[in-house]
Structure 1
Amino acid sequence: MTHLALSYAVRDFYDLDRNLIPLTFLRFLAIVLFLTGTLLQPAMAREPRRDPVSMRIRILYLGADAFGASPYPTYVIDPLTYIVALTSMGGKTQTEIDKKMRIYMPRNYLDLVAKYDLIIMSDTVANFQSHYVQWLRDSVIEDGLGLLMVGGYGSFGGVPYLESNWGATVLQDALPVICIHLGWDQGDQSISQAGILEIVDHEDEFVTSLPFDEIGPYGVFHGVNIVKLKQTSELLANYRKSAGLRYPLMVYEEIGKGS
């Protein structure tokens, strides 16, 4: 599972650059990969949660489109994972979002922790009602679920043109970084402003399990959420600009009972 998750993201970049997809689309893929817990099993001391009967890792996927440049299709076909997607949350009224959450989210907190092992939030706008956010936070810290937040306009602290500050919610407690309100590097404006993936910990088991040294010019990210490391988190890779600026790109942390 670890190998499929990130190799899928890397493969997307290869395909997109080869086919010259416009930057307006690429910016959604120029993501901060703050990988926590289950997806970083080789680097972590804890065993990932999984269904005790099927032994599959059960994933709740929240946020952007589940297809296109998304790990969702990989998890659908992977025999080791089971995934449910709650997507297309952007561009809707709050009433529509609340209705969709009532219909498709787990019925209560106990239902969430009983049915899922990992939560993936991919470009997810911070427009959930507060009790749902509390569930997400508590499921990681109190009940040991894994959390993966993938960067984008709606992730972490949002961007200047989309108000979405997860740092102002209780979910901040369950993230391995400190969200910066409206913190976004404008690498999506032109090729010259893009950043590249720069591995920091070359000895980490997760890093050595994937061919980062072969990514070459395709390891380009057109924009990144600007965040700060927590003292207890582990930095695996940076987003490096041509001017020498660096921002955290891949970070994980064991938090409470989860990660």
Structure 2
Amino acid sequence: MIIDFHVHCFPDKLAPRAVSQLAATAGIPPRVDGTISGLKESMKRAGVAKSVVLSIATKVTQTENINNWSAEIQDEEIIAFGSIHPEYENWKTELFRIKDMGIKGIKFHPDYQNFFVDDKKMFPIYETAFELGLIVVFHAGVDIGLPAPYHATPERLEKIVRTFPGCKVVAAHMGGFSFWDDVERFLVGTDIYLDTSYSLDFMDGEQAKRIFKNHDVSKILFATDSPWMDQEEAILKLKNLNLDKETENAILGLNAKALLGL
């Protein structure tokens, strides 16, 4: 079973504008149209059994609507995470509602949501999410198209791992896009999950294999960042690293299956 732990989709009416705007900001052409149906067509071509849709509340007013949509789109192929905007006043009630709706986790994008990942004002939100058993995913490192400062660097994420030991934390983009030396310095060997989204094409293959070797292999998750990367091509990129079959199968799906409790 192949599980893509990091994709993005939008409601059909919003997808054309959202994908177009994001593509223009980042200078990256989309590989699919950003709809659920487009994602499922991609999954079928690539042999992906399940994809985890990660949405982000970039405005306070989006929080409840995003979580409602996330609950609605879940089915046998789609697992959707919710989101909490840092300034959303009723965050605790919303986290309990997320849990009650059967959503397994939440996504934060500290750059888009304008907070530093290790800001202690966020700790009560994290603590409640972890107490509820929710998985917390952070965008990590550079976001192409957005300027510095970068709000979720490996060094800052290490503080989260140290503060909340044993909790389910996922650092996207191999722990920090374009900060991979710092990933090795601060995150490799710690109790954090790293996803491969939009990374393997941009980092040295030997460094990727070194991270896989030195980190707990059960905490590496295959991910693409679709629509910004093609799922079929991303699977081939991982396979071209020539990892042993047990490691490859763990990364492609077994680790995510265990983390998601499937």
Scaled by the length of structure 1, the TM-score of the pair is: 0.38
Larger RCO (alpha carbons 8 Å, 6+ apart): 1
